[in-house]
Amino acid sequence: MLLFPLMAQSQPSAREIMQKAREVSKIPGMEAISTLSIYDSRGRERTREISMASRLFDNGSTEKRIVRFLAPAEVKGTGMLVFDYDDRADDMWIYMPALRKTRRIVSAEKGQSFMGSEFSNADMAAPNLDDYRYQLLGSETQDGTDCWKIEVVPVNEEIADESGVSHKITWIGKKDYVTRKSEYYDLDNDLWKILTTSDIREITTGKYMAAMMQMENIGNERKSVFKMDRLQYSPDVKQEYFTVMYLEKP
């Protein structure tokens, strides 16, 4: 008698998996001190120290995030403010202390490098789910974790052109819905970059974050590693942090 109920339990769709992955990444509030290590093709390293904070607004439909560079001296004070919306295009601003000016990052710049790293400006925000189509390709194991393998394709050429990505293959953990790996393919459908994550942490009940992320560029043989050294759950992080005025503070 149990056979039929068990058979009736179908696995989630690719869209449902991606929706759940977005939900588990929405942390009410957090603060962190992080290290961004940038390696050239010869393995030479440049390191940046970064402070970060994020908080949910509008009943969780908007995530605001601020990133500020603490060291070395040539990038100290540089910062980015991100308003990550569920239902429309994100807003991004960057502050350059040498120019004493904040400017908005336009759509055409979102695929560009984030501060000389292999991460892009777009990687600083979560993609809008409605901007992509999803296909479940099956199941695979990544570093011992059972994952769903999903193809992610932009719904139109404009979105593909903004990011420079024709499609993406991503592996989502079945237990925690955290991305373990993503392969990015350029507009010629050649493998361009590979994201891998590790040190997965449950920040608060049912909310997860990868404290280590590596982006490897296959074309230029460079890689960048983002590591959260000090990560704190902070649901009451100050709202004033998420303003252009605070972004411009010395």
Domain locations along the chain: 12-247
pLDDT tens per residue, range 168-198: 999 999 999 999 999 999 999 999 999 999 9
Distance CA 102, CA 94 (A): 6
Q: What is the pLDDT of residue 236?
A: 96
With 90 as the cut, is the pLDDT of residue 2 above it? no
pLDDT of residue 8: 45
pLDDT > 70: percent of the chain: 96
Assigned token pair, 85 = 């919306």
Q: In angstroms, rounded to a whole number, what is the distance separating the alpha carbons of residues 94 and 15?
A: 32
Give residue-wise pLDDT tens across range 208-245. 999 999 999 999 999 999 999 999 999 999 999 999 99
| Mean pLDDT along residues 97-119 | 94
Global pTM value:
0.93
| Identity of the residue numbered 165 | V
Split at pLDDT 50, 70, 90, the class of 10 is: confident
pLDDT at 1: 46
66 and 242 Cβ atoms separated by less than 8 Å: yes
For the chain, give the secondary structure using H, E and C.
Answer: CCHHHHHHCCCCCHHHHHHHHHHHHCCCEEEEEEEEEEECCCCCEEEEEEEEEEEEEHHHCEEEEEEEEEECCCCCCCEEEEEEECCCCCEEEEEECCCCEEEECCHHHCCCECCCCCCEHHHHCCCCHHHEEEEEEEEEEECCEEEEEEEEEECCHHHHHHHCCCEEEEEEECCCCCEEEEEEECCCCCEEEEEEEEEEEEEECCEEEEEEEEEEECCCCCEEEEEEEEEEECCCCCHHHHCHHHHCCC
What is the model's pLDDT at position 250? 84
pLDDT above 60: residue 6: no
Give the chain's mean pLDDT: 95
pLDDT classification of 9: cutoffs 50, 70, 90: low
CATH fold group of domain 12-247:
outer membrane lipoprotein receptor (LolB), chain A (2.50.20)
pLDDT digits (tens, 9 = 90+) for 121-163: 999 999 999 999 999 999 999 999 999 999 999 999 999 999 9
Share of the chain above pLDDT 90, in %: 94
